[in-house]
Amino acid sequence: MKIIMLGAPGAGKGTQAKKIAEKYSIPHISTGDIFRANIKENTELGQKAKVYMDQGLLVPDELVVDLVVDRLKKDDAKNGYVLDGFPRTIPQAEALTNALNAIGEKVDYAIDVDVPDESIIRRMSGRRACVSCGGTYHIRYNPTKVEGVCDACGGELILRDDDKPETVQQRLSVYHEQTQPLIDYYTKEGILKEVDGTVDLDVVFQEIVKVLSGN
C-alpha cells in the first residue's frame, strides 16, 4: 500500500503516518524527519536545508526529489510506504508520478488531514518532537509517559526551531500557496481521501483505517 499524507503543517500528518506505518508494517518516510536528522548530524544537506526550514520556507525541489526517489528504492519499501511531507509542490508530485510510472507503480491513496489554520497555531506551541526517531507528542493532547523522553525510543524531546508562532504563520502561507494545489492534483488522479483532523487523534486514525480498508 502506497500512501501520501497531505495537510497543513501541524495537521497531524506525522502522528497519523506513524500509526499507519505500525498497523500496516510499512515504513514511515518523512522528508522533514530526514532533514532534521541531517541537521543534527551537520551534513551538507542539513546545512542547506536548515536555511529554508528556519524561515518556514520549502527546501528547493532539487534537494528533495532525488532523496525521496532513492529512499523508495530501498528494500523495506517494496510492499509500500507512507510518505509524510512529500510531495509538497506540483513539481514534486509530478516527479513522483513519473518515477513510479517508470516502474509500473502508482500511489494508492492521498489522505488529506483537514485542520483549519486557527487550530494549528494552538497545537504547534505544545508540540514536542523526538530528535532520534521523529516521534511527535503534545504536552496536552498526547503527552509522553516521562516528561521530555520519547515513549518509543527513549530519545530526547525538543521544541522544533520552526514551531515559533511567526514561523508557523509563514509555513501556513507557504502551505496554502504551494502545497494546497496538490489536493486538486490528487482529486483529478482519483485517489484523494479527506479526513477531519480536528477530532481526537485516535478518532482521526479510525477514519483513516476505514478509508484504507475501502469502507
Considering only residues 152 through 181, tell me which ones interact with Zn ion, judged by CB under 5 A: 152-153, 155
Least distance to Zn ion, CB of residue 3, Å: 22
User: What is the closest distance, in whole angstroms, from the C-beta atom of residue 186 to ligand AP5 in the complex?
Assistant: 15
Residues labelled catalytic: 13, 88, 127, 160, 171
In sign, the C-alpha dihedral spanning 161, 152, 7, 94 is positive
Contact pick of 4, 135, 205, 207 for Zn ion (by CB under 5 A): 135
Torsion of CA 199, 204, 207, 211, to 10 degrees: 130
CB of residue 180 to ligand AP5, shortest distance in Å: 12
- Residue written as cell 478518532? 203
Whole-number Å distance between alpha carbons of 192 and 111: 6
| CA end-to-end distance (rounded Å), the chain | 16
- Structural element, H or E, at residue 111: strand 109-114
Q: How far is the CB of 139 from ligand AP5 (least distance, A)?
A: 8
> Between residue 1 and residue 60, which ones bind Mg ion under the rule CB under 5 A?
14
For 75-196, where are the E strands, in sequence order?
81-84, 109-114, 127-130, 136-138, 157-158, 192-196
Q: How far is CA 178 from CA 12, 68, 181, in A?
A: 19, 18, 6
Q: Which stretch binds Zn ion (CB under 5 A): 4-12, 54-62, 127-135, 207-215?
A: 127-135
Pick the closest to residue 77 from 88, 69, 85, 66 (CA basis): 69
Backbone angles phi, psi at 148, to 5 degrees: 80, 0
Q: Which of residues 6-35 bind Zn ion (CB under 5 A)?
A: none
Nearest to 93 by CA among 186, 26, 3: 186
**Nearest distance from residue 100's CB to ligand AP5, in Å?**
16
Contacts of 184 (CB under 8 A, 6+ apart): none
Query: Which of Zn ion, Mg ion, ligand AP5, none is residue 137 near (CB under 5 to 8 Å by kind)?
Result: ligand AP5
Binding region for ligand AP5 (CB under 6 A)? 7, 9-15, 31-32, 35, 52-53, 56-59, 64, 85-86, 88, 92, 123, 126-127, 136-138, 141-142, 162, 171, 197, 200-201, 204
Binding partner at 59 among Mg ion, ligand AP5, Zn ion, none, C-beta below 5 to 8 Å by kind: ligand AP5
132 makes contact with Zn ion (CB under 5 A)? yes
Q: Which residues bind Zn ion (CB under 5 A)?
A: 130, 132-133, 135, 150, 152-153, 155
Q: Which residues bind Mg ion (CB under 5 A)?
A: 14
